Amino acid sequence: MKNILIVDDVEIFRIALKGYLYSPENTLFEATNGLEAIEIIKNEPIDLILCDVIMPLADGNEVFQFVKSNPLYANIPFVFLTAFLDSIFVSDSEVERLTKPVTKAKILEISKKYL
């Protein structure tokens, strides 16, 4: 069983990602903002994070910094999904990034790569 966290403040995007990733082998968690994401990460064994950047309360950059600065979570694969690549404040070598809209094929490719 793999635990995937989908973080996006846009409901339709979360619904699409859940549809793409639905499988009996996956448990899907979702957060509507960065603070919710951080709470889920603290409380669940997450195997992959798919995270928007521009969100309320805490943005994707803040979620990324929380994950990578904590030894308990630093090895969780983190993928930014955003329409605004210039809003990501980490280097290309630190994280995978995909531009929205993203296809089902690309999401499945990413999930196979990291899971």
User: What are the angstrom distances between the C-alpha of 17 and each of 71, 73, 74, 106?
Assistant: 28, 22, 23, 11
Least confident span in 14-18, 54-58, 106-110: 54-58
**Domain boundaries in the chain?**
2-114
Residue 98 confidence (pLDDT): 81
Domain 2-114 CATH (choose: 3.40.430.10, 2.40.10.120, 3.40.50.2300, 2.60.120.1270): 3.40.50.2300
Least confident span in 2-16, 32-46, 99-113: 99-113
In angstroms, the CA 111 to CA 115 distance is 6
Task: Give pLDDT tens digits for 38-91.
Answer: 999 999 999 999 999 889 899 998 999 999 999 999 999 999 988 765 545 565
The closest of 69, 39, 65 to 53, measured between CA atoms, is: 65
Where do runs of H (alpha helix) occur along 4-103? 11-21, 34-43, 60-69
